Amino acid sequence: MHKQAKQYFLLGAVTFALAACSQGVDTDQQGTGEGTIELAEFPDRPYWGDTHLHTDNSIDAFGFGVRLGPEEALMFASGQEATATTGMRAKLARPLDFLVISDHSDGLGATRRLYDAPRLGVVAMGDETMLRWYDMMHESPEQSQRAIGELITAAANGTLPEAMTSNPEEQDAATAEIWGAHLKMLDRYNKPGKFTAFAGFEYSLMPDGNNLHRVVMFRDGLNRTGQVLPYPGINSDVEGLWDYMLAYEQVTGGQVLAIPHNSNLSNGLMFELTMPGGGPITAEYARKRAAAEPVVEVTQIKGDSEAHPFLSPNDEMAGFGVKGWELGNLPLTRETTNDMLAGNYIREALKRGLSLEEQLGVNPYAFGMIGSTDSHTSLATGDEDNFYGKHTGNEPSYQDRALQGQNLGTRIGRFGWHYLAGGYAAAWARGNTRAEIFDAFQRREVYATTGPRMTVRLFGGFDFSEADWDGDWVRAGYTRGVPMGGELEDRGNAPTFLISALKDPDGANLDRVQVVKGWVDSSGELQERVYDVSWSDMDKRSRVGGKVPAVGDTVDRATATYTNDIGAAELRTAWTDPDYVEGQRAFYYVRVIEIPTPRWTLFDAVRFGIKLPEDPMADAVAQERAYSSPIWLKPAPPAITEQQ
Amino acid sequence: MTLPNWAREPLVHFLVVGIVIFALLAWRGGDVDPASRTIEVDREQQAQIALVFERTMKRAPTDAELDTQIERYIRDEVLYREALRLGLDQGDAVVRQRMAQKMDILASSQAETVQPSEETLRAHYDANPQAFASDVRYTLDQLWFEDRKGAERALTYVETADDAFQLGQSISLPPSVDAMTSKELADRFGIQFTQNLDGLEPGENWQGPVGSGLGWHLVRLRVRDASKVPPFENVRSDVEDHWRTQTIARRKEEAFQLLRDSYKVTVKK
């Protein structure tokens, strides 16, 4: 025993010495931020970010009119002032900690013509190019215009002189163009310890208008990301994307993950019980999916995908951000019918995952949850009082934007007011670097909010109790249990969860904390239940007919203001599952509910003096929320019996 | 007014569009050079297509995959050429934007890779000291109270208490922070708290109550470390990034001005 401990100690010392040696020299050649900053012992705070932002590099965003690019997006997210396309000046009161710019891969240098053009630039670039332009300029204006025109035409037609294309290294560099310039810029803005800029893109697969989009996010810097191009969404299937990701990891030694989003607009295709196109899901498909997609985006401007009242009739708080979006797929070319909803909503997918795991031995839908914006304005705004619009066509300069139609199917009933203000992703990490935050995503130690920045902790274990709150409970959580995103192995007794939710320090108080449990019962049926586990003024708000009474509503509709006279600053509990049955697969996640606050539509109505009609007015106040990633309870593996 | 039924038939739409395209072609595409209707996918072009596949998937395409890619290339090429013939590139905002973007990248691409000299960077550092200034940092202890009265009461005996940290109510906030930046302090305690600290003088005594979005605090503000500009050596890579960002922006602007100067532009009032 002692000997072993000594070996560990020695090993530790060697590792430490190695780490010390590598300080000082450039330790961050891969751009992951490893070894650049001092890390906390345990993840000590959530880092806030948006993993889903479009800039003028996205053709649709550009088509809607945005004229701000990735650089402005990074400056804005990290706290600098920007001027929105429609002219308003904007600055985040609280800057973000990280950002994934996720422009659509189609058009991000993913077509041939876009690779061809810059050869001339790479060969005759920089000062030389400028010198040549200068010479031509002084010959005659007509001459210069013709020269430039010819160059562009030649580039566009792929008929550049052979000399310009002969050097393979230069050709490689040329392949980069927009993507390459973008990656270099990201590396310049990535500041370990201060602000993390991830490379990424959106893979926009959309069969028949059914949304199967993913955001792809890289852990690495230019050294590795520069070796690949974004994977195109057109003419592809999702297994092709996973193969692409695997190849990236194998060849470069880097890491990459994909985040599905807007399952609410997939008409049942995002979380199917079958393979895409039919037939039973194979274990191989499930394994690939689980490996590539550890996290899903549960909430964003185009609605919330946590739960639907049709699927969860006993959950009176289901249905946030469902209105309008439940009508059909993304462009509303096909209606959504009730039988499709189970493939659209995440709680149901988590349940389906349990039963698929029972059949296949692997769970394709064991994911964590995050929120993001999906803003197409280059501005990562997620709060109700700073909604900059889904796209430039509904920035706040368009004062009646809440009542205007959308591009996505207004005739059938989607309006501006159906947009949510957007969500954010919170990552529990030991420091603000690409590696630390990416790894938090990979181990699902992340959570979603619909915009407010509440601090949510969740630990699961078998020996927690209320007494843990008196000591260093975070250390207890990490050493005697697992954090959100983790797995517990069934030991024959009920799990206990340490749950803490601290309000957004600049936001609204908390109404309640709930645990959502999903499980497979003894007859193989999927079940769910929502437990109220802690709420404000518990002594005065005792349950009536098994339900916790509503917290109240302080929102003044005439001024779009509220007070924190109701609700609590923090809610905590050590909660033990009262309905535990040995051997049943289950997941548990936490939903934190704020007191009612004005939505962006009410802020707009007050600011711009607009009278909201009945429907949007009824929807102008909401209870914002956070969703933790689940903790899974798995049956213990069968004891290995020796065979004679 | 309602349209007759035949006007809603997709076939009719198709025919009408076909006639329009035919008419356009007859009018604009009269003297087509036969060469422009020849597509030769030579070995070099095939290699290029294969290279793009390889750059994406990190492996060479199979024969079948290459065939698919070539078919796709031919399809794009045919449609692209026809689109050019129809003048569809004209007045297309996305095409305009992409072309303009390419010109910008041409102008700045060298600045992405050039290694600036030490003197260049030092001069840049000297010219922009505020760009490298550190955040204000705080070292403090704090006690949290749900209401103001509780905080005021505790203030009367906090200095004589055996363990001051026992006086605050329990909450998931760090009781002490060490050299924390104002940004991180605002993330943890809120903007209101950070702003209210401005009114306090640093010292070893407990002060307050200080209001925040979370409630009320007694604060022992030990150190408020003003923002300062670190020595060049400590921020060298930041200086380089900043220099590069500014140089790229300047080159784009200079290149644009060069071109712009050769144009005569009038904006009618």
| Least-confidence region, from A27-36, A138-147, A405-414 | A138-147
Tokens, residue A467: 């007494």
Lowest mean pLDDT among A254-268, A306-320, B96-110, B162-176: B96-110
- Based on the fold, state whether residues A254 and A120 are members of the same structural domain: yes
Residue B30 buriedness (CB in 10 A; 0-12 / 13-18 / 19+) = exposed
Is B97 in Cβ contact with A56 (below 8 Å)?
yes
A148 with A210, same domain? yes
Which chain B residues touch A171 with a CB distance below 8 Å?
51
pLDDT for B250 equals 87
In a domain, A232, yes or no: yes
CA distance, residue A200 to nearest chain B CA (Å): 14
Strand boundaries in chain B, DSSP class E: 137-145, 176-181, 207-212, 215-225
Percent of chain A with pLDDT over 70: 82
CA distance A448 to A371: 4
**Domain presence at residue A296:** yes
Q: Would residue A16 count as lying in a domain?
A: no
- Is A130 in Cβ contact with B258 (below 8 Å)? yes
Question: Is the model more confident about A130 or about B115?
Answer: B115
pLDDT at A587 over 70: yes
Asked whether residue A348 falls in the same domain as residue A461, the answer is no
* A446 in the same domain as A459: no
Q: Which pLDDT belongs to residue A200?
A: 96
A360-375: average pLDDT: 96
Please check whether residue B36 touches A, CB under 8 A: no
Q: Do B212 and A507 touch (CB under 8 A)?
A: no
User: What φ, ψ does residue B258 adopt, rounded to 5°?
Assistant: -55, -50
Average pLDDT over residues A194-206: 93
- Per the model's pLDDT, the better-predicted residue between A83 and A113 turns out to be A83
Contact A440, A446 (CB under 8 A): yes
Residue A159, pLDDT above cutoff 60 = no
B58, A48: Cβ pair inside 8 Å? no
In which domain, by residue range, is A569 found? 452-638
Residues A252, A348: one domain? Answer: yes
CB contact under 8 A, A122 and B214: no
Q: What is the pLDDT of residue A402?
A: 86
More confident residue, A235 or A82: A82
Question: What tokens does A470 get?
Answer: 């008196």
A615 to chain B, minimum CA–CA distance in Å? 32
The pLDDT value recorded for residue B6 is 67
Asked if B179 is an interface residue toward chain A (Cβ–Cβ < 8 A), one would say no
* Chain A residues within an 8 Å CB radius of B190: 504-506
Nearest to A229 among B55, B94, B189 (CB): B55
CA distance A472 to chain B (A): 11
Q: Residue B213: its chain A contacts at CB < 8 A?
A: 503-507, 564
Nearest CB to A229 within list B56, B107, B112: B56
Q: Which residue positions in chain B have pLDDT lower than 70?
A: 1-4, 6-8, 10-15, 17-35, 109-110
pLDDT digits over A472-515, tens only? 999 999 999 999 999 999 999 999 999 999 999 999 999 999 99
| Rounded Cα–Cα distance for residues A231 and A102 (Å) | 12
CB contact under 8 Å between B172 and A572, yes or no, is: yes
pLDDT of residue A132: 52
Q: Is B100 on the interface with A (CB under 8 A)?
A: no
ipTM: 0.82
Q: Looking at A414, A435, A451, which one is the last position of a domain?
A: A451
Look at residue A11 and tell me if it is in a domain: no
Comparing A68-72, A313-317, A398-402, A590-594, which segment has the lowest mean pLDDT? A398-402
Give the residue among A390, A388, A402 at the shortest CA–CA distance from A611. Answer: A402
Instruction: Say how many CB pairs under 8 Å bridge A and B.
Output: 151
Radius of gyration of chain A (CA): 26
In a domain, A239, yes or no: yes
State chain A's mean pLDDT as an integer: 85
Whether A528 and A581 share a structural domain: yes
What DSSP assignment string belongs to B68-120? HHHHHHHHHHHHHHHHHHTTTTTT-HHHHHHHHHHHHHHHHHHHHH----HHH
pLDDT (mean) for A331-335: 84
Asked whether residue A471 falls in the same domain as residue A436, the answer is: no
Distance from CA of A306 to the nearest CA of B (A): 26
pLDDT at A110: 32
* Kind plus residue range of the DSSP H or E element containing B29: none
Chain B residues 237-256 within an 8 A CB cutoff of chain A: 238, 241, 244-245, 251, 254-255
> Taking phi first (over 0 means left), then psi (-120 to 50 degrees means alpha), and beta for anything else, what does residue A316 get?
alpha
Question: Under CATH, to which class is B134-225 assigned?
Answer: alpha beta
- Whether residues A370 and A512 fall in one domain: no
Q: Enter the pTM of the model.
A: 0.85
Whether B190 sits inside 8 A of A231 (CB atoms) is no
Q: Answer yes or no: do A333 and A381 share one domain.
A: yes
Is residue A109 pLDDT above 60, yes or no? no
Same domain, A522 and A408: no
Whether the CB of B39 is below 8 Å from some CB of chain A: the reply is no
Residue-wise pLDDT for A42-84, tens only, equals 999 999 999 999 998 887 777 777 788 889 999 999 999 988 8
The verdict on a CB contact (< 8 Å) between B214 and A248 is no
Residues of A whose CB is below 8 A from B176: none
Which of A408, A428, A451 marks a domain boundary? A451
Q: Are A368 and A500 found together in one domain?
A: no
Chain B, 71 to 90: residues with Cβ < 8 Å from chain A are 72-73, 76, 80
Chain B residues near residue A95 by CB distance under 8 angstroms? 183
Provide the pLDDT for residue B208: 86
Return the domain boundaries, chain B.
10-92, 93-132+229-263, 134-225
* B130 shares contact with chain A (CB less than 8 Å): no
- When pLDDT is cut at 50, 70 and 90, the band that residue A26 belongs to is low
A435 and A484, same domain (yes or no):
no
Instruction: List the single residue in A with minimal CA-CA distance to B174.
Output: A44
Q: Is a pLDDT exceeding 80 seen at residue A10?
A: no
CB contact under 8 A, B190 and A235: no
Listing DSSP states for A465-508 in one string gives -GGGGGS-HHHHHHHHSEETT-EEE--SS--EEEEEEE--TTSP
Q: Using a CB-CB distance cutoff of 8 angstroms, which residues of chain B are in contact with residue A125?
A: 106, 109-110
Which tops the pLDDT comparison, A145 or A622? A622
- Gap between the Cα atoms of A44 and B174, Å rounded: 10
A253: left (phi over 0), alpha (psi -120 to 50) or beta: left
The structure tokens listed for B237 are 């890579």
What pLDDT band is residue A334 in, cutting at 50, 70 and 90?
confident
Mean pLDDT of the A311-331 span: 92
Domain total of chain A: 2
Report how far apart, in Å, the C-alpha atoms of A460 and of each of A420, A488, A517 are: 32, 7, 13
Report yes or no: B214 at the A interface, CB cutoff 8 Å.
yes
A45/B52 touch (CB, cutoff 8 Å), yes or no? no
Where are any strands of DSSP class E within A567-643?
A: 570-576, 586-594, 597-598, 621-622, 625-628, 631-634
The torsion angles phi and psi of A319, rounded to 5 degrees, stand at: 100, 10
Mind listing the pLDDT tens digit for each residue in B220-252?
999 999 989 999 999 998 999 999 989 888 888
pLDDT, tens digit, for every residue of A526-572? Answer: 999 999 999 999 999 999 988 999 999 999 999 999 999 999 999 99
- Residues in chain B with CB shorter than 8 Å from the CB of A235 are 72
Residues in chain B closer than 8 A to A97 (CB atoms): 187
Question: Shortest CB distance from B262 goes to which of A141, A228, A564?
Answer: A141
Distance, C-alpha A476 to centroid of its chain: 28
The encoded tokens of residue B194 equal: 């950070």
Final residue belonging to a domain, choices A404, A433, A451:
A451
Whether B258 contacts chain A with CB within 8 A: yes
pLDDT score of A642: 55
pLDDT at A127: 41
Chain A: closest CA distance from residue B171 (Å): 7
Lowest mean pLDDT among A105-109, A425-429, B22-26, B137-141: B22-26
Asked if A125 and B106 come within 8 Å (Cβ–Cβ), the reply is yes
- pLDDT higher than threshold 60 for residue A359: yes
Q: Would an 8 Å CB–CB cutoff place B6 in contact with chain A?
A: no
| Residue A491 resides in a domain | yes
